[in-house]
Every structure is written in structure tokens, then in C-alpha cells.
Amino acid sequence: MSPITTHVLDTSQGRPASGVAVLLEAAESEGFRELARGRTDDDGRCRDLLADGTPLTRGAYRLTFETGAYFSARGVATFFPRVSIVFEVREPQQHHHVPLLLSPFGYTTYRGS
């Protein structure tokens, strides 16, 4: 499993958000560098952004979710066309799971397990 994973739940539907495009980036001195792209599966999970065993380094990372395309494909208007979550990796040997709870007009996130 990737050392950084995510899970998107569409709280307006009460089910996983499948097919959401996800971008993973790492912070560098001049901005962010792309590490990987993925898409949530039928269970709303993106487990394979990075190859199993890929070493992480301490620092900031960013996950960006293309929520506008997800809602548009369902004929739903949204206030947030994209959601970006910046988080800090302090213990690179640990697994980092960053879930996104999503609705057309709001979202929340937390450090998962």
C-alpha cells in the first residue's frame, strides 16, 4: 500500500465518491512538485498513489481533489471545484491516511488511520 492514502466520502449521497481525480505533491523551496496522480476506486479509496515501500521525507505534502468534475458528472452544482489539503509528514516511517468528507457546498478532513 502507498505510504500516503486517501478516501473520499460523498456525504450528500451517504456513499463513497468513486472516480475522483487526485494529485499528490511534495513541497519544495519554490512551490510543490508532483509526485503522483490517481483516481478513487468504487469504494472511494486511492490506495496506490505511491508504490508500496516508497520512502517519505519530512515536510509538507498536498493532496488536490478534482471535486468540480466529480459533481459535474452527476449533474450537481458545487461551490468548490477543487479541494487542496496541505499536511505535514513528521514521522516518515508511518502511514499517512487523509480522508475527505465531501458535499457540494462543504468539506472536512482529518488524519485517518
Give, rounded to a whole angstrom, the gap between the first and last alpha carbons of the chain. 13
Decide if 58 contacts 71 (C-beta within 8 A): no
Sorted by where each starts, the structural domains of the chain and their CATH numbers stand as 4-109 (2.60.40.180)
Helix (H) / strand (E) containing 67 = helix 67-72
SS3 72: helix
Predicted local distance difference test score (pLDDT) of residue 53: 86
Q: What is the pLDDT of residues 85-110, one digit of tens each?
A: 999 999 999 999 999 999 999 999 99
Whole-prediction pTM value?
0.95
What is the Cα Rg of the chain in Å? 14
The residue length of the chain stands at 113
Angle at the Cα of 58 from the Cα atoms of 56 and 61, rounded to 5 degrees? 75
Q: What is the pLDDT of residues 59-95, one digit of tens each?
A: 999 999 999 999 999 999 999 999 999 999 999 999 9
